[in-house]
Structure 1
Amino acid sequence: MKKNLKGNTVVEIVDVLNTSDVFKELSHPHSGGSCVFVGTVRGFTKNEQVLSLEFEAYKAMAIIEMEKIAREASEKWALNQVIVRHAVGTKQIEDPVVVVGASSAHRDDCFEACRYLIDILKERVPIWKKERFKNKSVWVSAHP
C-alpha cells in the first residue's frame, strides 16, 4: 500500500523493504543533505536469541498515521522529500523492516526530522510484531 503526498512525501506499507533506492527518492535539487534511518531485525532481544520476526499492520490506519507524521515533520522542518516505509510479513535476522528519511537544504533539518519520524512512528503507528525464539513466540507491539 503506497501513497504520495504533495509529490514530495511517500508513505508505504510493503511486503519487502528495498533500501537501495532511498537516496534517489530523497534526492532534490534544493537539498544539500539527506538523512536515512533503517531499522533491521536483530539477533537477540533481552539476551534471548531471535529466530525471526513477523510484522502485521492495520494497513489503512497505519498509512493515515504515517501521513500525519510525515506532514508534522514537514511543518516542523524545511524538508524537500520525506519517506516513511514499513514492511510486514516474516523477516529474518538483518532484514530491513523500516526506513524513514528526509532531505533538506541543511543537515540539521533532515537529521532532526529523521529522528522525529522514527520515534513518532514507533509511538503511534498500529504495527505489531511476533518475536520467534527457539522455544516460544510472543506477540508484542512493534513500537512500544
Structure 2
Amino acid sequence: MLGALALPLCCGLTDIAVAPAHANPGQGPSWGAIASVHGWYGYSINHPSRGAAELAARAQCDRAAGRSGPCAVRAYFDRSCGALATGNYGEWGTATASTAAAAGKAAAGQCDSHLPTEPCKVVVSVCSSR
C-alpha cells in the first residue's frame, strides 16, 4: 500500500481523484431527455444532471430541425428509459418506464389517444445507465 501512496505524494499528484474499476452501480451520469418540434427530435442519455441532458437533447433536435423552430423537452428520465411516438398529422406522445419496450408502448398509446388516422410509430426509445 505504501507504493500506491508514494507516487501521488512524491510527484505532486495529490489532487487527482481516481474511481475504482468496480465503482458502485447506480453512480455516475444517468440522466436522459427527449426533445422534439414539428416531427424532428433529439435525445440524450447518460448526463450528470437533468439540465445537462435536456440541453443536449434540445441541441441535437435543433440541429436536426434547422429552422423549424426551437425544440422543447418532451420527456426526461433518470436511470430509466424514455420514448417518443409520433402520428401522421403531428400527434405525439412520450413516456418513461423501466424498459425501452415499455416506454415505447406507453408513448405510442398516449399518441394514439389523440386519434391519428394511422397508428402512431415509436421514433426513439432509449435508456440511460442504471
Task: Name the structure with the higher strand share.
Answer: 1
Whether TM-score is above 0.5 comes out as: no
What is the TM-score of this pair, normalised by structure 1? 0.26
What is the TM-score of this pair, normalised by structure 2? 0.27
